[in-house]
Amino acid sequence: MIEVSALSKRYGEINALKDVSFKVEKGQIVGFLGANGAGKTTTMDIICGCIGADSGTARIAGFDIMDSPMEAKRRLGYLPDVPPLHVEMIVKDYIAYAAVLHKVPSASVSKRVDSTLDSLSLGDVRNRVIGNLSKGFRQRVALAQAIVHDPDVLVLDEPTEGLDPNQILHIRELIKSLAGRHTTILSSHILSEVQNTCDHIVIIDKGHVVTQGTYEELSQTIQSGHIYRLRVAKDAGKALSDLTGLNGVSNVKVIHESNDIEFSISSASGGDAALDAVAKRIVDGGYGLRELALKTKSLEEVFFQLTK
């Protein structure tokens, strides 16, 4: 539904984008992750036809945003990093105004406004002035203007920026509820937001894509071998000594003076056999095996390792 190919953009001497390419399949929520200044907003603005690229293409539902802008934008809903709100307007009137701009047929405007407000839990504030709402509610109104015409594609640029934790959680759940019906690309520099909301991740750094895939794929790509977390009932320090030097097992350490132990098993060392040996050593030693599980890297660790 979204196909970005070799986008490049310069601002004077600054190379904002360098051959950026990725795809967003139908029904996906894709996280576009990068630090401030990485090129996220520039990419979003090109995808939505707000600015042009120096080279490359962006296609929305098969339509090139530069060659067929009206067809592409008809299938697009956009929430920019600065929400386009008319704060002096009443909520329902503003969403109706957005529906007209998106060329929703006149006979359907009222129905579309009602269903959109209900879907975003805005019914109780439909008759209030936008400027009198909390920031969380204003962000929901901004999201409403992006979906009132029921677009195939949603482009959301930093949709939770500046919100408190409760507001972030609410907006996150609203975005997840749109999955399947809308194909969504969501830009953010908040790693937990991307990890908890998106099923595919594109990481951009200094204007170019450094990697993309599911969270699990990204974690495994940069992880040499596997890291495991082991929990025992007692004597974690003694258990650590018993595991140290075991064939194929390395980097054994107790976590924060608890009964949790972390260790690594190299992919080249016969992982299953080494893991069996660890479990046997713990059981035979009478330490009380409570848990043994694979530990994946956090998205923060993945992001830091790819962009440092």
Residue 219 pLDDT exceeds 80:
no
What are the φ/ψ torsions at residue 94 (nearest 5 degrees)? -65, -45
How confident is the model over 162-174, as pLDDT tens digits? 788 888 888 888 8
Residues of the chain with pLDDT > 90: what percent? 55
Q: What pLDDT is attached to residue 265?
A: 82
Residue 113 pLDDT exceeds 80:
yes
Is CATH 3.40.50.300 the classification given to domain 2-220? yes
The segment(s) of the chain belonging to CATH 3.30.70.100 are 224-307
How confident is the model over 4-44, as pLDDT tens digits? 999 999 999 899 999 999 999 988 999 998 888 889 999 99
How confident is the model over 73-83, as pLDDT tens digits? 999 999 998 88
Residue 84 pLDDT exceeds 90:
no
The segment(s) of the chain belonging to CATH 3.40.50.300 are 2-220
Residue 293 pLDDT exceeds 80:
yes
Contacts of 45 (CB under 8 A, 6+ apart): 51, 80
Q: 248: left (phi > 0), else alpha (psi -120 to 50), else beta?
A: left
Looking at 3.40.50.620, 3.30.70.100, 3.40.640.10, 3.60.150.10, the CATH number of the domain 224-307 comes to 3.30.70.100
For residue 44, with 0-12 CB atoms within 10 Å meaning exposed, 13-18 middle and 19 or more buried, which class applies? buried
Distance CA 41, CA 43 (A): 5
pTM score of the predicted model: 0.73
* Region of poorest pLDDT, from 41-45, 94-98, 157-161, 270-274: 270-274
* Region of poorest pLDDT, from 132-136, 204-208, 295-299: 295-299
Residue-averaged pLDDT of the chain: 88
Q: Are 293 and 227 in contact (CB under 8 A)?
A: no
Distances (CA, A) of 143 to 156, 202, 228, 264: 8, 22, 41, 44
Residues of the chain with pLDDT > 70: what percent? 92
Residue 192 pLDDT exceeds 90:
no
As beta bridge partners, residue 31 has 186, 201
Q: Are 38 and 206 in contact (CB under 8 A)?
A: yes
Distances (CA, A) of 191 to 32, 35, 116, 174, 223: 10, 10, 28, 18, 18
Please compute, for residue 212, the number of CA atoms within 13 A of its CA located in the half-sphere on the CB side: 13
Q: What pLDDT is attached to residue 96?
A: 97
Residue 296 pLDDT exceeds 70:
no
Q: What pLDDT is attached to residue 288?
A: 93
As beta bridge partners, residue 14 has 11
* Nearest Cα to Cα of residue 5 among 27, 29, 23: 23
Q: Are 229 and 45 in contact (CB under 8 A)?
A: no
